[in-house]
Structure 1
Amino acid sequence: MHGVAVHAEERYGIGREATPAEIAGWNIDIGRDGTALPPGSGSVERGRIVFSEQCAACHGDSGQGGVGDRLVGGQGTLASPKPIRTVGSYWPYASTLFDYIRRAMPQNAPQSLSNEDVYAVSAYILSLNGIVSANAVLDAKSLAAVKMPNRDGFVSDPRPDVHNR
C-alpha cells in the first residue's frame, strides 16, 4: 500500500501517505482471543441503561429484535431446519461482540460509545443470553475468558471447501 499511495501522489499530484496516528485511529480490531481489547470495564447494570438508550430502538427492549437483528435466544436451534442465529446461539467469541459493537454501533453513530459503555453493553447482551451472570462486570481479561456456547461450532483450518494450498 505504501508504494501505491506514493505513486498516486507523484503521478496525479493528489493524496498523501497516511500518518501513523491516522492509521492507529482505524486499527481497532480485536483478536478472537481478546488481543487488543482496550482498558476499561462495564457492568451488566450499566449495560442495561446504555442498551435502553442506544440499542433498544432497533434491537428491542430485551434484544428480541425489531428493525435490527435479534440478539438473544436461539440456543439449540442451529441444527434445526430454521436456525436462529443470535449472539447467544451462533457467535463463537465474546471479543467479536465487543469489536462489532465498538466498530459499528449504534448504527446512527458508529464508534461513539466509550470503551466502558461497550464493555457494559457486551455484558448486558451476554447476560440476556445466560452466558454471564446478571451482576457480571467485564474487562479485557474477563471478556476474553468468556466461553461462548457455539465456540466449537465452527470448522477450523483447513477448511473443507478450500483445496488450493
Structure 2
Amino acid sequence: MAACKQTHEPERFNLGRIATAAEIKAWDIDVRPDGRGLPEGSGTVSEGRNIYTAKCALCHGKTGVEGPYNVLVGDTTKAKTIGNYWPYATTLFDYTRRAMPFNQPGSLTDNEVYSITAFLLHANKIIDSTTEMNKHTLPAIVMPAHKYFVNDNRQGGPEVK
C-alpha cells in the first residue's frame, strides 16, 4: 500500500477580501433576549395592523390565525404560537427583522418591525393597544411562556460554543 502524500495548504487562497467595518456592522443585527442590539425606532399596534395586512397576511392569514403557513396568534391551541410558546418578545423582533417577509427577508424597516411586533403581541393579548414598542419597552415584556424555559447552567463538562 502506497503512503499517502501529504499536501500543505497555503495560508491564504487569495480569494475575496477582508470585510470592512461598515459591511460587518450591516450584518451585525442580532438582538439578545435582554434587548441588547435593538435599534432606535418605534412602532404602534395600529401601524402594525396596516403593515401586517400588506406584508404578512398572505402567508399568516388576516388575523394571524388562519394561515396557510405558521399560526402566529393563539394561547390555547396545540400549535406553537407567539402567545403560548415564545419565551422572549425580543426574539419576535429579531426573527421578523431577519427573516420576514418570506419573499423579501430583511426588507422591513426597524419602525415596521417594531409596529408588526406590537400588533402581534397585542393580537396575542400580551400588551394593550396603546403600548408603543421601542428598544426600552420591548425587553420589559414578560412573555406567557417564559416560565417554561430553563437556562442551561450545567457545569463540569466541555464547553461548546
TM-score, L = length of structure 2: 0.86
Whole-angstrom CA distance in 1 between matches of 2:63 and 2:132: 19
* Whole-angstrom distance in 2 between the partners of 1:11 and 1:139: 44
- Following TM superposition, by how much is the alpha carbon of 1:136 offset from its aligned partner in structure 2, in angstroms? 1.9
Mark the runs of 5 or more structure 2 residues left unpaired by the alignment: 1-8
The residue type paired with residue 60 of structure 2 is H
Q: Which residue of 2 aligns with 1:118?
A: 113
2:79 equivalent in structure 1: 84
Cα contact 2:75–2:124 (8 A) shared by 1: no
**The residue matched to 1:22 in structure 2 has which SS?**
helix
- Alignment partner, residue 97 of structure 2: 102
Give the aligned partner of residue 5 of structure 2: none
Whole-angstrom distance in 2 between the partners of 1:62 and 1:105: 17
Aligned equivalents of 2:99, 2:152: Cα separation in 1: 28
- Matched residues in 2 for 1:47 and 1:137: separation? 11
Q: What is the CA distance between 1:156 and its match in structure 2?
A: 1.3
| Correspondences of 1:143-158 after superposition (within 5 Å) | 143-158=138-153
Q: What is the identity percentage for the equivalent residue pairs of Structure 1 and Structure 2?
A: 45
Higher-Rg member (1/2): 2
Shift of 1:12: 2.7
Q: Give the aligned CA root-mean-square deviation in angstroms.
A: 1.9
* Count of residues paired in the alignment: 150
Runs ≥4 residues deviating over 6 A: none
Unaligned 5+ segments in structure 1 are 1-6, 78-82
> Distance in 2 between the 1:11 and 1:35 partners?
35
Aligned partners of 1:11, 1:127: CA distance in 2, in Å?
A: 52
